[in-house]
Amino acid sequence: MKTVSLILARGGSKEVPQKNIQLLSGEPLISYTINAAKWSGVDEVWVSTDSSIIKGLSIQLGAKVINRPSEFAKDDSPSEEALLHFAENVDFDVLVFIQPTSPLLRPSYIDEGLEKMKEYDSVFSVYKEHWLPRWSLDISPINFDENKGRPMRQDKEDVYVENGAFYITTKENLLESKSRVSGNVGVVEMKIGDSFQIDTWDDFELVGRLV
């Protein structure tokens, strides 16, 4: 049973140019997830990229690299396209898909997910959220009716929020379903403080205080 991790790291980014190699507390952003994968129980760490700079850095950090075709590296390219490209070209049994925007991901979370794969077909990371009133951008209530009174937080169930840190599935399930999650699904609950994603310069500033 061969387990590999895959980090999808495009060279382009709208909000933050070259986001995946921008420095976070003095280290390239992608280094955090490469190291988390290396220190986990996976057999190989891979990076899929269209960038020669990211390729060189990833190899330097100890990862293997698959060249990501440009048609799978556009702003609107679904991650599944690159995942399927990888699955069709690399030998493995279990895939841990990690997003490079998750610098607070710990190896122990990955290992917990791999252990849960003994029971499930797919596993993904979440954090638990208490109920809060949510409003649309035109200031309309989304998850409650203001006219019927505001519910008490303790009367509403907690929910799991997909935090995007990682997804685990098998090669067989990925190729059959064309999706990162399929079949009987389990979750790994991460602390909310470990679930921050880097998407903006403000995120770099905030998370830089935590790493």
Q: pLDDT digit string (tens) for 135-186?
A: 889 888 887 877 777 777 677 788 999 999 999 999 999 999 999 999 999 9
Mean pLDDT of 117-122: 97
- What pLDDT digit, counting tens, does each position of 187-198 carry? 999 999 999 999
- Of 54-58, 92-96, 141-145, 194-198, the range with the lowest mean pLDDT is 141-145
**Rounded average pLDDT over 76-90:** 92
Residues designated catalytic: 150
Higher pLDDT: 143 or 80? It is 80
**Structural domains of the chain, ranges and CATH numbers in brackets:** 3-124+163-185+199-207 (3.90.550.10)
Find residue 168's DSSP bridge partners: 96, 123
- The predicted pLDDT at position 145 comes to 76
Q: Tell me if 96 sits within 8 A of 42, measured CB to CB.
A: yes
Q: In sequence order, what are the residues at sequence separation of 6 or more whose Cβ sits closer than 8 angstroms to the Cβ of residue 139? A: none
From 24-33, 73-82, 91-100, 165-174, the region with the lowest mean pLDDT: 73-82
Answering whether pTM is above 0.85, one says: yes
Mean pLDDT of all residues in 102-106: 97
> Averaged over 95-103, what is the pLDDT?
97
Rounded to whole angstroms, how far apart are CA atoms 175 and 163? 24
Name residue 72's amino acid. F
Portion of the chain with pLDDT greater than 90, in percent: 76
What does the alpha-carbon distance between residue 194 and residue 104 come to, in Å, rounded to a whole number?
Answer: 5
Mean pLDDT computed over every residue of the chain: 92
